[in-house]
Amino acid sequence: MGIGEHAMPEQDVLRRILNESKKGVIIQIYVKPESNKEELVLEGGELVFYTTEPPEKGRANAALIRYLSKRLGIPVSKIDIISGQRDRLKMILIRDVKFDDIVELISNITEK
């Protein structure tokens, strides 16, 4: 193992599961509503958002957007669910951000 190799395994995983687009960074997140906590974790190579909100009337979706905005320090107006509004698997677009910045920010959130 070389120097620094596996120093940040979360970032390595995130670089594989996040996608850069012309509009910003696309993040795939599984949402688990009606949980007993609200947090974003890396489980089995996937991002999973646990929320106490139920999966009705967009409440879990709104909780995800609010959480990402607060924890990443990005305005709600720059975060959109681009697919999966009614599914557990969401594709989230974060506009006007750099890929490496999002990798680092999410890594900081998901580190235990």
31: in domain: yes
Q: What does the pLDDT look like over 14-56, one tens digit per residue?
A: 988 899 999 999 999 999 999 999 999 999 889 999 999 999 9
Quick one: which H or E segment has residue 23? none
Q: What pLDDT was estimated at residue 4?
A: 43
102: in domain: yes
Nearest CA among 110, 101, 87, 107 for reference residue 25: 101
Burial 56-65 (b: 16+ CB within 10 A, else e): eeeebbebbb
Domain count, the chain: 1
pLDDT band at 8 (very low <50, low <70, confident <90, very high): low
Query: pTM value?
Result: 0.88
13: in domain: no
CATH number at residue 35: 3.30.1200.10
Query: Is pLDDT at 5 greater than 50 in this prediction?
Result: no
Query: Which domain range does residue 80 map to?
Result: 21-110
87: in domain: yes
